[in-house]
Amino acid sequence: MSLKSNYLSALLISFVFIISANAQHTDLVDSSQTQVLADTSKSGRYIMPELSHKQMRWSRGGNGFMSIHLGFAPIVDYDLFFQDNASISQVGKQNNQADLRSGRMMFSGQLKFKHPWRYLFSIEYKGLDRSPEQDPIGITDLAFTIPVGKTLGNMIIGKTKETFVYEMVGDAANLPYTERILSPFFASRNTGIKFSNAVLKDRMTWAAGWFNDFLIKNSTVDASVNTVTARITGLPVWENNGRHYLHLALSARYLESNNGKMRLKGRPESNVTSNYLDTKDFEADHGWYLGSELLWNRDNHSVLMEYVKSFISSPINNNPEFTGFTVTGSWVLSPGDFRPYDRKAGFARRIKPGSKHGAFELVGRFSYVTLDDQKIKGGTLNKAYMGLNWWASQYWRVSAGWGPSDLLLNGYHGTTNHLLFRLQWIY
């Protein structure tokens, strides 16, 4: 079998799951999932051992001035790689290994002013939003959300997420797949100020922000990198108490170069591999990034698509343009369970099973990212993924996934097959 037919076969098999889901579609009882969750949230109602809300009450507290909620997000992975010789020559031998993907502790709550402020502080070891080159322990979030009226909604100040790309805006641990792939086009966290709001009876959201890391680097605004992002979402379809919806979104990002240099790089849906895609440092002034999103959900199956295009101002390199897109299909096997959509935030949350056996979700995904244009030769990656998620309770998730990565780099096609096993508990 050729290298391309390898990942295309995986893609075909993945979408058989989605076609089957349509063929087996039946109308569900029009009952509230919230009520189902309330009935199954007690300790002992899931076959996976779980702590009840009452048993975790020590993690919540407060007084007349503030409330506090202590949260945890331990995630453990095991990665196995199977490479051909061309792949090894391109990126080196990738080692099988266990990985503490995230060990996050979060403090959140309210400051009880007349119009309460919300705060979020999280610190973690490694983490879903920190690359292996960075320090293993660091602050992930440090932000205050301040209400500023009906028109502007909320103002968020501090270290927080930029408003660009669905797989970054969404909670990483709750996505149907296990790892992001559009990382060359976004920063996981940045320091700045952003505004966001939900309008038209929560059928649309908008968010925009300006970010500059001068405070972190003890520098000046002019000497640091400015980033501006914006995202707008809409719900043209919202039916059956949120079991059937269509989400559309557009986003944009402007990024200044760092001392006249830019670099885009990314991994093949893995936290422990080398950078398969890498432009290295090249001369540039700034970059414009444009993104589009589509998320369609009907009962227990959904399709998510993203497209990102970057336009780099670099005359010496003929102004290269880079592209990335993904198509993801999800089929939740357990009747009555589905992926609920958060109309205030503009993305879908994790599955919260209504059965003591949890909820099983089949996932198929195909991704394409190229950092190869004009004089820049950063590589082209085709990636397929097939996975199974067991949402064992409201907090536990067990995942297994496999996918081939086809890399075109340095005149060679190299293939890496990757198996990933994950255990996570999010509270």
Residues 51-79 have pLDDT tens digits of 777 888 899 999 999 999 999 999 999 99
Residues found in the chain? 427
Whether 290 and 335 have beta carbons less than 8 Å apart is answered as: no
Q: How many CA atoms lie within 13 A of 283 on its CB side?
A: 6
Separation in Å, CA 25 to CA 33, 36, 341: 18, 21, 20
Q: For residues 284 and 400, what is the distance between their CA atoms, to the nearest angstrom?
A: 40
Residues 78-116 have pLDDT tens digits of 999 999 999 999 999 999 999 999 999 999 999 999 999
Average pLDDT over residues 167-175: 90
Residues 353-402 have pLDDT tens digits of 999 999 999 999 999 999 999 999 999 999 999 999 999 998 999 999 99
Q: Tally Cβ neighbours within 10 Å of residue 321.
A: 15
The structure's pTM equals 0.86
pLDDT band at 410 (very low <50, low <70, confident <90, very high): confident
Which pair of tokens denotes residue 275? 């950078």
Task: Single out the residue of 147, 250, 251 nearest to residue 197, CA to CA.
Answer: 147
> How much is the pLDDT for 316?
98
Separation in Å, CA 137 to CA 102, 123, 261: 10, 7, 27
Whether 148 and 155 have beta carbons less than 8 Å apart is answered as: yes
More confidently predicted of 60 and 40: 60
